[in-house]
Chain A
Amino acid sequence: MMTKKLSIQRYLPEQGNAPYWQDFDVPFDDSTSILDALNYVKEELDGSLTYRWSCRMAICGSCGVMINNTPKLGCNSFLREYEGPVKIAPLAHFPVEKDLIVDMEPFLDHLAAVQPYLIDDSRLIDDNEEGTQTYKQTPAQMEKYKQFAGCINCGLCYSACPQFGLNPEFLGPAALTLAHRYNLDSRDQGKKQRMAQMSREEGVWSCTFVGFCSAVCPKNVDPAAAVNQGKVESAKDMLIGIFKG
């Protein structure tokens, strides 16, 4: 069986402040994913290696790492795709807790800020039992937001975004995409609340359309398109605001 050299960035907070690189030789074939390789290292070579993973099929979004400076899911990247040694580092632009584990808290805070859920006060359960009614939505209405609803919250787009890297207060691709996704949803009434978040300085206008977020998205959500459609919405919202006084 052929082997490939894996260069993994290690960070052990209890042993000092600086991260360092450690090399491992890993046997591989056509079906060996980066995640398989990490599992091999942990099981056979160094049990102290720490990383997140769960589903192995690009659904849970927990095994994101930087592979040769590109954010990817370990489970759907394969050793056969790489010539020479493969460099694996924790997701960029996040605080590193240990080895390949980052603190996703800043990302989750940004997600929560845009209220990524259906807001519809008229559906509050009251005496008329309105809250028990089901929503109706036509396929055409669903088509408007469907592409932006595929996000698995893996955070790769945040590691791809230099604007988030330069300013961690920037709401970032996934949060702004989710905001846009719910604004486009015919069942939702929360656009006004979300526009306040989208239009502030750390909202859509901090995006310069680098576009790398869309290139790395494992679900082809195209967050760059959503964020920039958000700019159009933000501009319309502002103009309407001026005319309304």
Chain B
Amino acid sequence: MAKQTSYFPELKRNWWLKHPYFKKYMAREATVLPLVFFLVCLLVGLFSLLQGAESWQGWLRFMQNPLVIAVNALAFIASLFHAWTFFQLFPRVMPLRVGGRALPPNLMVLGQWFGVVVVMILAAWIFMRGL
């Protein structure tokens, strides 16, 4: 334990402003904020769909508000940024071995982005079909 004569510097609330590395970390963590907004929009949309046509039209109008579009666009960019950071961390947390050989980290990152593209194409196909 700390002795009587020692000095213990306290970590202040603004610790993350003291180093560029911590700022980048906090940016990664902060991506959740616009994403929470998007999820609330989505839940309210589902709820208004249950409420009937009038409620649904009201939700559609709300979603066309430029400010709402801007925050949701930010959520989209934030989710891509978070994916970028997460995909890089993944090979370090789950190093995979195929046939006794370690899979190169770059290949794993590429594989994950390939997955993102596949999901996007699938979502676009489902959405376009409905139009």
Contact = CB atoms under 8 A, between A and B. Distances in A.
Given A162-B22, A166-B11, A228-B89, A105 B16 contact: no
Contact of A224 (B7, B29, B92, B94): B92
Interface in B11-49: 11, 15-16, 18-19, 21-22, 25, 29
A97 B6 contact: yes
Contacts, number: 68
A232 interface: yes
A225 B15 contact: no
A11 interface: yes
Contact of A17 (B2, B7, B29): B7
A215 interface: yes
B1 A209 contact: no
B92 A228 contact: yes
Which of A17, A165, A215, A231 counts the most B-chain CB atoms under 10 A from its CB? A165
A225 B93 CA distance: 5
Interface of A: 11, 13-14, 17-19, 69-70, 92-93, 95-97, 103, 105-106, 140, 162, 165-166, 208-212, 215, 222, 224-225, 228-229, 231-232
Nearest 4 interchain pairs by C-beta: A95-B2, A225-B92, A13-B5, A95-B6
Given A103-B6, A165-B11, A228-B93, 19 more contacts: A13-B5, A13-B6, A14-B5, A18-B7, A95-B3, A96-B8, A103-B2, A140-B100, A165-B15, A166-B11, A209-B89, A210-B21, A211-B21, A212-B19, A222-B92, A225-B95, A228-B89, A231-B93, A232-B93
